Amino acid sequence: MSIAIVYGSSMGNTEGAANTIASKLGISDVFNISDIDADKINSYDKILFGTSTWGSGDLQDDWDSFDFSALKLSGKTVAIFGMGDSESYSDTFCGAMGKLAENLKNAGANLVGEVSTDGYTFESSDAVVNGKFVGLALDNDNQEDQTESRIDAWIEQIKPYFS
């Protein structure tokens, strides 16, 4: 079984989270989306995807230019994590995770790793479906002190799917 982490990061926060998650799960295949294509992603059985949110809930630039139509994720287990700013962008907090989730579901992915919105302060988010985030929401701008514990709790939740 092959597992990879694929992320898009402009300022380094999402890359840092990707590397922390990889280290804690023992995953050695970690790729910036700008350095990998859909064919390579399709070769993995299980994939964790990460993105930061920009502007009014937009995908990170490298994700924004990625051709999602080439992804073939039918039957594959996928989890999502993302970075956002819950104070400056309270009305679109981690919204890019919602856009990423839609694209991955359209490619056939089986999404796991929903996270409760408890403990987060924000107005609204496209990443919230049925009262939960579609993946792990992180805020290094305002809640950096909670990043490690949120990653640890999420890893415990998704570990059965990625080990």
Write the pLDDT tens digit of every residue in 68-82. 999 999 999 999 999
Instruction: State how far the Cα of 122 lies from the Cα of 141, in Å rounded to an integer.
Output: 13
Q: Is the pTM of this model over 0.75?
A: yes
Report the DSSP beta bridge partners of residue 137.
82
Instruction: State how far the Cα of 27 lies from the Cα of 23, in Å rounded to an integer.
Output: 6
Residue 153 confidence (pLDDT) = 98
Residue 64 confidence (pLDDT) = 86
Instruction: State how far the Cα of 120 lies from the Cα of 110, in Å rounded to an integer.
Output: 25
**Residue at 34: amino acid letter:** S
| pLDDT digits 0-9 by tens, 11-38 | 999 999 999 999 999 999 999 999 999 9
Q: What are 71's two structure tokens?
A: 């992804």
Per cent of the chain over pLDDT 90 is: 96
